[in-house]
A and B are shown apart, each in its own frame.
Chain A
Amino acid sequence: MRSSSFLSGILRGYTVLMFAFVFAPIAFSVIFSFNSARFPTIPLESFTLHWYQTIWADPDVWEALRNSVIVSLCTSVLATALGFATAYTDYRYNFRFKSAYLALVLLPPTIPLIIMALAMLAWFSKIGASGELWSIIIAHTVLAAPFAMAITRLRLNQMDKDLESAAWNLGASEWRAMREVIIPFCKPALISAAFLTAAVSFDEFAIAWFVSGLNKTVPVLILEIVQGNIDPQVNAIGTLVFMVSITLVVAAQVFFSLRQSKSST
């Protein structure tokens, strides 16, 4: 009894340390974004909102933010739609080479980003689509759709096999059953997937850097600022980006667990 509580104490401490290790850099970035010193040093100087004022006044930041929002919104919609369609295909149909199809579908996140980014750049240059906002959207959709597919597929696997047939049986055409039964059933997963794919796109740097050209997204802008000089503006931008991402991921998680608890009752 005692040894098990001792063990669980150690495990708890270990978990806390792990989280501290992972989040410390972010925490420091947040702290230094409010620090008046130009260089990240301890002891801290005085509290300031100066760096936030600078980025607020910087049109480049606004431009990058606008690009990022457009790209992640479009990616979210496209990737979720594509992920849903793929998951439904898997749920509904049996065909030859289905396992090969699934492997291919789930492949993009396993390819090293830099390879993917280079390939995208080469391809987009070839077809003359490099440097466009929509080319980033396409690239991000390729990257994010498998996540949406995986989430939707989990949900579809929880569905009573007879549910769709029951809708047809009650007079719903296939499209109507899709609209009235399949999509409502998958709704929590679709919302969750939309948030998650938005977060994936909003944070993604490598592909955006290669493909974006003059249409910088926020992560690309951050690198450019850092390359120029050490500027605490980066901490301020980083803090905001982190807030956006964590909000999206938490929202995705909330919808995910909401549906878990609902289906378990």
Chain B
Amino acid sequence: MSTPLVSMENVDKNFGTFTAVRNLNLTIDKGEFVAIMGTSGCGKTTTLRMLAGLEQPSAGTIRIAGKLMNDVRPHERDTPMVWQSLALFPFLNARENVEFGLKMRNQPADLRRKKALDWLDRLGVAEFAERNVETLSGGQKQRVALARSLVTEPQLLLLDEPLSALDAHLVIRMQSVLTKLQRELGITFVYVTHSQSEAFAMADRVIIMSNGEIAQTGLPRDIYREPANRFVAEFVGRNNIISGDVRKVTGKKIEIVSPTGTFKLNAGGGTSAGVVPAVGESVAFVIAADLVEITRTRPKADNVVECSLISEEFIGAMVTLFLETEDGTEFKVQLQERELATLDHNGGGSFYLGWQAASAHLLPNEAV
């Protein structure tokens, strides 16, 4: 087995009495595109800054390419970063900005110039090479910043919410630029973001952080469909979370009783790692809003609840309906906008929500 490019072992980072990162264990392989996602203050940016050497871990070890990095100064590392603020040097033009890293490595001027122009060209902004960076548009600045970080051909590129200042349509464009570059160059990307769509669209592996700890790490699909705990289930996607007691276990099929009703699901699949709860145990399960079917007549599904409509949220092609059962439990259902027409959703009365046992996902280790 080859050594991972990045390995963090039992890393803590404290600022005074505040713990920003706690007992972090993380390995990243060469060529991986990893996204670290979480709300602000979850420790994701601190983790990135520790990789860049801008923060030193309070405890634990950080290795890059096998070398212990704890006390290596930022300028002695080869871990360029793309900043949320971009941090382009305003007194230099686009080309000089890109040349900066090469200049610091004392490369000759003509070579620097050639490499800088190559990279600006590769990112489609060669025509702005001699322009003052302050006069460029957001998207152009973004590309210059990217060229500046990549010109030294690093093994590892750190990206701190690089797209958060861009317009929505530019974000999509830059996402494809980034993924394409990453595949072509084979560089490891560590991408910090609070945006689920950015993380899921680009990353090979997603790490969710909460309160300085890793809440879950896995493929985007696994995180989406099989959240490891309540935090991830609430943070990612649109999930309905139902708590109850296990009433019956038959092999991997279990039945859960809750105030809303009795529900069937399969335990032990995916990320729950074969854990099957015992009868009487308190557990919780997740049913994703897009896996719930909504009908006017009682469907033939493993699980059915009866609800009334509270409100709806319209996001382009998708619509989320908010419903409530008689005992006050809230349900979310996500469906295509065009499916709405067949539902007569403005007509009042009750609706039936149905889902198969296999669609629900048991939250492991979730004592309520």
Contacts and interface: CB of A to CB of B under 8 A. Distances in A.
Q: Do these two chains really belong together in a complex? A: yes
B103 to A, nearest CB: 8
Contact of B83 (A166, A174, A185, A263): A166
Contacts of B149: 170
Given A173-B75, A184-B91, A162 B148 contact: no
Most buried by B among A167, A170, A184, A187: A170
A169 B89 contact: no
A244 interface: no
Nearest to B135: A265
Contacts of A263: 90
Contact of A170 (B53, B54, B101, B134): B101
Nearest to A168: B74
Given A176-B104, A265-B134, A171 B90 contact: no
B87 interface: yes
B152 interface: yes
Given A184-B91, A187-B91, A265-B134, A170 B85 contact: no
Nearest to B145: A166
Interface in A129-167: 160-163, 165-167
Most buried by A among B75, B85, B105: B75
Interface residues of A, number: 24
B52 interface: yes
B75 A163 contact: no
B79 interface: yes
A9 B152 CA distance: 62
Interface in B35-66: 52-54
B89 A181 contact: yes
Interface in B5-60: 52-54
A162 B85 contact: yes
Nearest to B92: A184
A169 B152 contact: no
Contacts of A265: 134-135
Given A162-B85, A176-B104, A169 B134 contact: no
B100 A167 contact: yes
Interface string B73-88: 1110001110111010
Contacts of B103: 180
B85 A169 contact: no
Nearest to B148: A170
6 contacts: A161-B85, A166-B87, A167-B89, A168-B75, A177-B75, A180-B103
